[in-house]
Structure 1
Amino acid sequence: MSLPRASSVGIIVNPHAGKDIRRLTSAPGQTSDAVKIGIMRRIAAGAVEMGADRVLLSSDTHHLSERAVDGLDGTFEFVESPLTGSHLDTVAAARSMWKEQVGAVVVLGGDGTCRDAATGWPDIPMIAISTGTNNVFPSTVDGTTAGVAAALVAGGAVALDGVGRQAKRVALRIDDPNRDAIVHECALVEAALVDTAFVGARAVNDPSTIRWVVACIANPGSTGLASIAGRVHPVDRHEPRGVLITLGAGGRRVRVPLAPGTFATLEVASVDPLEPSMPMELPGGGVLAYDGERTTPVSADSAITVSIELSGPRLIDVEQALAIAARDRRFDVADGTPSRKDPHGD
């Protein structure tokens, strides 16, 4: 069951995912530290089981990584982090794993955490596990299975090109006369302009302030800003296009779930499909939100250029990776092979 070459698997966790202010204004669930530790422990055990030579983990202010691998067999390393308690920790962890040539990274968090990881490592080979709020980009994956799949890809037993599909991004170029330089940003699901003067708690809660939404994934079953595009003009994550939804009077009125258990009626002024790599200039005046989080204040004089680009993370298909491994008998044990110690450490 060993892998054909040396392999390194990464694990990045956002300790704050699934705990933001939306729990005070709507009815989402909460992902506790204990749940995240359990998922990380299963990922590490799965990676070790498939012969990963080392597992690199992000450092965090809650010490989730250290607690997750305590007592496990295997080689575990903790990458350096500024320990700001912010998104910068995820960006730094992904960048460090890129430099360490990690073969596959399992990311625990929401859309924003996945975006932060892709900021640090633009085409990061990623398995994204949902532990956040209103998640569209990550999905629910068992930690044990994710760890096994990550090790298979990292070690070359399963080729990344065969199971890692490059995701889209919403690319933004922000030319604001109030800034010294042009700013480049991206989103993995959607970018939106919110008519407010402050970033504040980052979550977008007031539907009347949303001016436009550009989505590269528009799932009608999603919740949050992505649900606006999803219920007006669905776009699959694997098709190359995107869509621009402009809010305002004169068009359709649509009912959308902007937060778990909370619905709002929005007026849609226009719907414009976006072809890949075709730039469109949009107005500013407010705060730009990326993947549901208000981030960048922009003046009304700003020129914001957006486009849909196929330059996001390499999203690993876990089931496909395991199916290929099973076909190639990667899970078979040769006669006479001594039993291995259970690596779970309990």
Structure 2
Amino acid sequence: MIQAGILGATGYAGQQLIWFLLRHPDLRLNFLSSHNHAYIPFHHIYQQYVDFIQNTCIDMHSAEEKLSDIDVLFIALPHGKAFDITKKALDLGVKVIDLGADFRLKSADAYKHWYGLAHDAEHLLSTAVYGLPEIYREDIATASLIANPGCYPTASILALAPLLKNHLIDPASIIIDAKSGVSGAGRAANIATLYTECNESIKAYGVASHRHTPEIEQILTSLNNRELIVSFTPHLVPMNRGILATCYGSLVTKLTQQELYEIYNTYYQDEYFVRIVETLPETRWVKGSNFCDIGIRVDERTGRVVVVSAIDNLIKGAAGQAVQNMNLMFGIKEQESLDILSMVP
């Protein structure tokens, strides 16, 4: 039985992680840690867990004392908070899956530029594995430290990977227009995400400056074997969950829509959680699931391909992907505890 600890258990991603791990037959939740809700029973914060989870949340100091009791540590904390605890866990032989941004970028200078902090565990960047199973499955299986991808990068990279791997588009032409539900902003109080502030409205934010930009560029560059930059604009839409990424690129040779579907179906033919769909994806068909739906259209008039992908930002964009990574790290069936379809309406 795998023993697991969770830091940041009471945030949206942490709670979603617990929802999956609670039903995992090979795992036991050893401890749940929360900065804002330490010493409070978890089911008092999320009442759906009454009679299912008896854990009382502990503080960070208590979590550090319990590291030797666990096999895997999930970290769902803001950027800059994972450095010390990750080093301590790895020194004890504990596997670490960081759902935050601290180990995603391979350059400490890039991290400082985009996140405004000096990287305090730079020596770990070379060993951290980017946790996107559809691309780095073999590396994930043998890793001790996983940098769980961001939600926007997951949707964008999966949408564009076949095009760049096969050199089908001009790398300088990539535009990503993405929309996210409000839960992507986290559970902390924030005026911008109050109901009356964001309901009945849509807005762009982080224009030309969003922190997921270098993450997207880093992985797409590795796939294309050529450095590239992208234009990435995220938007906030008034729904709880979901990301819809609409990605544009100029085709370098004329290809039909059917030919591109064949390329995508071949590329993802062995990927359980990626569905290539004929109808354009919608967030409602993936909400509550670990699936990524991808649809393709060719604009013959402009010579561009338009790829639309949809994920649940809290699942394939965070907690579900973390569980998928854990399953790979421990040699468990990859879809264990994740084999769930969206519930509608």
Q: Scaled by the length of structure 2, what TM-score is found?
A: 0.30
Q: Which has the higher strand share?
A: 1
Q: Which has the higher helix share?
A: 2
Asked which structure has the greater CA Rg, the reply is 1
Q: Scaled by the length of structure 1, what TM-score is found?
A: 0.30
